[in-house]
Chains A and B, each alone.
Chain A
Amino acid sequence: DTGVSQDPRHKITKRGQNVTFRCDPISEHNRLYWYRQTLGQGPEFLTYFQNEAQLEKSRLLSDRFSAERPKGSFSTLEIQRTEQGDSAMYLCASSLSGATDYEQYFGPGTRLTVT
């Protein structure tokens, strides 16, 4: 499968623990996005990378959240001191800058449950 991949697909953690998710974009895509989706809602933008530079961050991304894309390829999203309100599906997407930049390709998501 050459699409966007995310790992793990499911994560159950206790409140207060730290979690880290990984996203591998389509190999030639230089742009990478993180979204969060809660039950009954559409995805909400969290942050965006162009290569290794984090260019935009949503106000939703509190200080407990950090995202990296160290070599401009895969990305990680870490949540520190998880809270029950962090329970959601975390989606990663990628795109290629240029004429087709408008199309974001989504991964299958990581479902986080905080107990």
Chain B
Amino acid sequence: AQRVTQPEKLLSVFKGAPVELKCNYSYSGSPELFWYVQYSRQRLQLLLRHISRESIKGFTADLNKGETSFHLKKPFAQEEDSAMYYCALRSRRQLTFGSGTQLTVLP
């Protein structure tokens, strides 16, 4: 069975500092991984997908199969990045989510 682990429930950084949100997974097949974000009073939305390898809102995430990780990174955090971030693994149409990390970017 697949599993997604986000070890940090809360993460605070200062504006302009680098940020890394950790995600580890266990899955027997070839994983398809995503980061979803939920801003305050908004619905859950897709932030990025590992296959696309693109940067969205300055965030990037690299799939490391050796370490079974998919950490989310941004070199310079902004206050508007404050949100709940969920790492998710997709298999057979369903998503398995981690428990989420609440990121707070302090001024």
Contact = CB atoms under 8 A, between A and B. Distances in A.
Nearest to B44: A106
Contacts of B46: 103-104
A102 B90 contact: yes
B32 A102 contact: yes
Interface in A21-79: 31, 33, 35, 40-45, 48, 55-56, 58
Contacts of B92: 56
A3 B43 CA distance: 10
A102 B33 CA distance: 10
Interface string B2-45: 00101001000000000000000000000010100000000111
B10 to A, nearest CB: 11
B70 interface: no
Interface string A91-113: 10000000001111111110000
A56 B92 CA distance: 9
Contact of B94 (A4, A41, A56, A109): A56
Nearest to A107: B43
B96 interface: yes
B99 interface: yes
A42 B99 contact: yes
17 contacts: A31-B93, A33-B93, A33-B95, A40-B99, A42-B6, A42-B86, A42-B100, A43-B44, A45-B96, A48-B94, A55-B93, A56-B92, A102-B32, A102-B51, A103-B46, A105-B45, A108-B43
